[in-house]
Structure 1
Amino acid sequence: MAQRLLIVDDDPDVLKAAAATLARAVEAVDTAVGPDGLAERAHLYDAVLLDMNFAAGARDGAEGLDTLDRLQAADPALSVVLMTTYGGVALAVQALKRGAADFVLKPWRNEALIAAMQAAAALTAERRASGKALNLDDLERRAIERALSLYEGNVSHAAQALGLTRPALYRRMERHGL
C-alpha cells in the first residue's frame, strides 16, 4: 500500500534521521520545521509524526497538543503520532486522550518508529475507508489500554494517570471488556 507520511520537527537532524528511517518503509516522506499550515494539507497524508515542542525552551507539549487538535479538526480520520524528548507518562496519556494514535520518545528505536507509523497509516486508511473517525468510546478504550500498558497493568497508577479513581477505571474497563 502506498503511504505518504509527514514529519514535523524544528530540529533538522531529527527530521533527517526520521525521514531516512521511514523512507525505507513507505512510498513518500515529507518534512516540515513547524506546525504552521499543516491543517490545510492534512488530507494529503496517511499519518503525521509530530513533535510536541517548537518554541525555544518549551517542554510542556502544549504546541503539539494544539496542533493535534487542529489536524483532527481538519481531517478526523488522520492518525497523528506525537514525539518528544521531554515526555512523561502523564503527557503520553494526555496525548492519547486527545486522540493521538501513539506516542514516541526521542531517541527512538528505528523498528519501533516504523511500526508506529505503519500502524498509524493503517488506522487512517481504515477510518477513511469506513468514512468515520474513532468515536469517543474507542478513544477512551485506547487511552485505558495505553495507560495500563505504560504502567504494566497497575490499575492504581493507570487510574491516577487518567485522572480517575480506581473504581471508576474498573467500571470503564468492564464496559470495554478489558
Structure 2
Amino acid sequence: MEPLRRILLIEDDAAVVQAIRLALRGVAEVEAFVDPAALSTSLSLESFDAALLDMNFRPDQRNGSAGLDVIDRLRSIDPALAIVMLTVFGGVAIAVEALKRGASDFLLKPWRNDRLVEAVRIATALTARQRAGAAMSLEAIERHAIMRALARAEGNISHAAAALGLTRPALYRRIEKHGL
C-alpha cells in the first residue's frame, strides 16, 4: 500500500474543497486554504508532496492572473513542488502560461475523479524526484534559474542577466542553448 500523500490545496469554493477531499480519500491528506494570502510565509512547503491550485479566487475573476501569481510565489519558495492547476475558465493560453511558470499539470473543473487521482500521483512522484535531485541535472537547474529570472524580470534581458550575475551576451547564449 502506498503511503498517504500530503497535498496543499488553495481553493476558494468550499464545495470544491469537499469534492477534492472525497476524491482523494485514502490517497492523500488535503490541507486547504481558501485564500493564497492566508498562506503563512513560515509554512513549510517541503511538508507537502504536491499542490492543487485554483486559478481564480473571487467570483468576478476569470483571467487566471491570481493563480499565475501564486505559482510564482510557490515556485520561489519551493521550486521542486509540483503544482496542478484547477479552473472552470480554461483556455489554451492560460494553460500554456501556467505551465511556463512552473505548473506541472492543468485540470478543468469539473474533473473526473480518476484523472484527479492520477494527476496527484504523477505530481507527487515528480516532487519526490525533483527533491531527490534525480530530475535536476546541472543543465536543468541552469535552465530553471534562467526561466525564473526572466519571469521575475518580466522578460527584460538586462534585468534578468543582472539578477543571474551574467552579462547580456552570456545570458543570450544560455537562452539559445536551452531553447528558451
| The two structures share one fold, judged by TM-score above 0.5 | yes
CA distance in 2 between counterparts of 1:126 and 1:80 reads 14
Structure 1 length-normalised TM: 0.71
Partner in structure 2 of residue 164 of structure 1: none
In 1, the alpha carbon distance for the partners of 2:124 and 2:27 equals: 12
- Contact 1:6-1:49 at 8 Å conserved across structures: yes
User: Equivalent of 1:20, from 22, 34, 39?
Assistant: 22
RMSD over aligned CA atoms reads 2.3
- Residue 5 and residue 72 in structure 1: after superposition, are their counterparts in 2 closer, same or farther (change >3 A)? same
Task: In structure 1, list runs of 5 or more residues that go unmatched.
Answer: 141-171
- Cα displacement (A) at 1:39: 5.4
**Do the aligned partners of residues 131 and 18 (structure 1) sit closer, same or farther apart at CA in structure 2, a change above 3 Å counting?**
same
Work out whether 1:32 is the aligned partner of 2:33.
yes
The structure that has the greater radius of gyration is 2
AA paired with 1:11? D
1:84 is matched with which residue?
87
Long gaps (5+) in structure 2: 148-175
User: Is the Cα–Cα contact under 8 Å of residues 80 and 120 in structure 1 kept in the other structure?
Assistant: yes
| 1:133-171 C-alpha deviation (Å, 9 max, x unpaired) | 55437xx9xxxxxxxxxxxxxxxxxxxxxxxxxxxxxxx
Q: Shift in Å at residue 22 of structure 1? A: 1.1
Between the two proteins, the alignment pairs up a number of residues equal to: 140
Distance 1:30 1:67, change over 3 A: same
Change (3 A) 1:104 1:39: farther
TM normalised by structure 2 equals: 0.71
Task: Choose from 112, 122, 137 the match for 1:119.
Answer: 122
Identity of aligned residues (%): 44
